[in-house]
Structure 1
Amino acid sequence: MVLCTGHATIFNLRIDRLTAWNPYTHAMQPATDCLEPKLPPDEKKISNEVTEDEEELFKFSPEKEASLLEETNVLKLRANDLFAQNAFTQAIEIYDQAVSICPNYRHYEVSVLKSNTAACHLKIEKWKEAAKLATDSLERLEKLLKISGGREESASEPCSATRDAELTTLTHEPNVFSIERMKTKTMMRRARANSEVGGWAALQSAHDDYQNLSKMANLSSADRSVVQRQLVLLPPRIKAAQTKEMGDLMGQLKQLGNGILKPFGLSTDNFNVKKDEKTGSYSMDFKPGS
């Protein structure tokens, strides 16, 4: 009897900890604050700081950082020379070495290297690789623009985004103009890459980039001409790719449906889907086989 009473007491205590009286509904409800693990205030604070500022924890000393940036710049200049000699594969290797040496938290320097590597991939027609590298570069530039509070319209000096390599050194602190100039150059590269990749998603991404580029004040006249031409050429390509991919998808769904319906002596041909143009809704009619 004592044992049973003890178990009942423990059971009741556990129920009380997991439920609470709600005065508005006049009923017991789960006590959600008991369902989540509690971290001590100090531990919770440290956990958040590690997530938000983890990059700050791995910074090199100023002396070491300067040394790494100098070494990075030497490699970058060597890769630029290889690019000028049309040795694009070798240039990619040297740019990659520079990225591996450059401190990862130096977003501008890494973004320039990745954008230049994207330019190399464009030259050897590796479109997907070029698009990915350009995206990586743009993501870092966006971080810098948020930190600096920069705005796209602040960069009014025209630049040619068709230049093959960024020739500035990597040892200076970038200003907003430099960041936005690099953003324009890199977005042109990504748009070109995606327009060559083809397919609905890639073509739409290229069109979006060209639309954004058309609004940028720092676009050179040569690049603006390219942008305007692509904004005319891309929409029909997007429409054609969309129609093809939707047709392929419907064909696959029909094949899957036929596989499911076959044991019942039916096929997707027994069903007719109609769209109500007024409401946009669909209805399905069953047609028995002959």
Structure 2
Amino acid sequence: MESEDAIPPEKLVEDLKLSEEQSYSLQSECDNVHTPRIGEGDSPSADLEAREDDDLFHDCNDSFESKVTGENHNCEVDSSENQTELDEKYLLELQKDMSEEEKQKRRDESTKLKEEGNEQFKRREYEEAEDSYSKALEVCPACCSTDRSVLYSNRAAARMKQDKKEVAIGDCSKALELNPDYIKALLRRAELYEKTEKLDEALEDYKNVLEKDPSVHQAREACLRLPRQIEERNEKLKKEMLGKLKDLGNFVLRPFGLSTDNFQVKQDSSTGSYSINFVQNNNR
């Protein structure tokens, strides 16, 4: 039997309805507060430092824990990773008729949860911080894109500390979808890409950072270092591929008493084309 105090779904939907003009006004208000992008006349480095309490960032050497504690870390996935979060555009459409009062109430609650997460992060309670940021995202109005971008980036930092690289990359990408000029999210994702051996993607993000703020030392250093690492990786992959092809060729030729050593590949220096010559092996 249903409770007499139960609220029918229709009532819940009706409580969310208001005009689109009111939704737009809060959108403007949200996006003009704490925007983590570089303003005209502002020092880029000073802007990054000024937002430290609100938006966490850590250098490459300190972003990951040296050891992941807990025997069951690799076996048990945190529940927040399993949650299916709605697409931002879809969420915005769902909340377009939400009252201004409700939006402000949710935004205040989200800010409080974010501050709790920041304090937990400072105490190295990274799992608890991740949970606080996730809860903040659940209540933060979709129209407050700047706030949500910071929350995604902060949750990525908490997940980085727990060595949850892939989901942290996803959070950084969501933060950048909401704010493409978000330097800290770009740096986080570049660092994560590098940690997961996605060197080409990391270099692209570091270059993007330098375009937005040439003073970021971490990005400058990475742009000098990564091209050489990418070249070395490609050479290694090339050798591995040629080795596998040679093994395959020997397997095919063995029944005929031949091997890849019986075939000599030469490159024409003038045309760049290759020729293959058969070499008789007289050793028995």
TM-score (normalizing by structure 1)? 0.55
1:56-79, CA deviations, whole angstroms, 9 ceiling, x for partnerless residues? 642343324444333332222211
- Which one-letter code corresponds to 1:71 in the other structure? E
Instruction: From 110, 114, 138, give the equivalent of 2:152.
Output: 114
Partner of 1:99: 137
1:136-182, CA deviations, whole angstroms, 9 ceiling, x for partnerless residues? 3223323xxxxxxxxxxxxxxxxxxxxxxxxxxxxxxxxxxxxx3xx
- Separation of aligned partners in 1, 2:269 and 2:143: 54
- Separation of aligned partners in 1, 2:239 and 2:166: 24
1:164-219, CA deviations, whole angstroms, 9 ceiling, x for partnerless residues? xxxxxxxxxxxxxxxx3xx1111111222223333xxx2222222222222224x6
Identity of aligned residues (%): 32
Cα distance change on mapping 1:187 and 1:266 into 2, 3 Å: same
- Which one-letter code corresponds to 1:62 in the other structure? M
Aligned partner of residue 285 in structure 1, secondary structure: strand
- Which one-letter code corresponds to 1:59 in the other structure? Q
Once the two structures are TM-superposed, the CA of residue 288 in structure 1 deviates from its matched residue by 4.8
Cα distance change on mapping 1:235 and 1:77 into 2, 3 Å: same
Once the two structures are TM-superposed, the CA of residue 282 in structure 1 deviates from its matched residue by 3.1
- Figure out how many residues of one structure are paired with residues of the other and give that number: 192
Partner of 1:189: 188
Partner of 1:227: 219
Cα distance change on mapping 1:54 and 1:90 into 2, 3 Å: closer
Return 5+ residue gaps in structure 2 as ranges. Answer: 1-88
Aligned partner of residue 280 in structure 1, secondary structure: coil
- Separation of aligned partners in 1, 2:275 and 2:244: 21
- Separation of aligned partners in 1, 2:249 and 2:143: 51
Aligned partner of residue 61 in structure 1, secondary structure: coil
Q: Does 1:81 align with 2:77?
A: no
- Which one-letter code corresponds to 2:234 in the other structure? Q
CA-based RMSD: 3.1
Once the two structures are TM-superposed, the CA of residue 277 in structure 1 deviates from its matched residue by 3.8
- Which one-letter code corresponds to 1:61 in the other structure? D
Q: Does 1:209 align with 2:208?
A: no
Matches within 5 A, 1:165-180: 180=181
1:78-137, CA deviations, whole angstroms, 9 ceiling, x for partnerless residues? 111111111112211222233344455754333222211222233344444433432232
Larger radius of gyration: 1
CA contact (8 A) 2:203 2:226 kept: yes
Aligned partner of residue 179 in structure 2, secondary structure: helix
- Separation of aligned partners in 2, 1:264 and 1:67: 80
Q: Does 1:62 align with 2:54?
A: no
Cα distance change on mapping 1:117 and 1:56 into 2, 3 Å: closer
1:6-45, CA deviations, whole angstroms, 9 ceiling, x for partnerless residues? xxxxxxxxxxxxxxxxxxxxxxxxxxxxxxxxxxxxxxxx
- Which one-letter code corresponds to 2:129 in the other structure? A
Cα distance change on mapping 1:249 and 1:73 into 2, 3 Å: farther
CA contact (8 A) 2:126 2:161 kept: yes
TM-score (normalizing by structure 2)? 0.56
Cα distance change on mapping 1:289 and 1:75 into 2, 3 Å: farther
- Separation of aligned partners in 2, 1:80 and 1:112: 11
CA contact (8 A) 2:92 2:142 kept: no
- Separation of aligned partners in 1, 2:256 and 2:148: 60
Aligned partner of residue 62 in structure 1, secondary structure: coil
Aligned partner of residue 215 in structure 1, secondary structure: helix
Q: Which has the higher helix share?
A: 1
Q: Does 1:123 align with 2:115?
A: no
Once the two structures are TM-superposed, the CA of residue 257 in structure 1 deviates from its matched residue by 3.9
CA contact (8 A) 2:253 2:260 kept: yes
Partner of 1:283: 275
- Which one-letter code corresponds to 1:245 in the other structure? L
Q: Which runs of 4+ in 1 moved over 6 A?
A: none
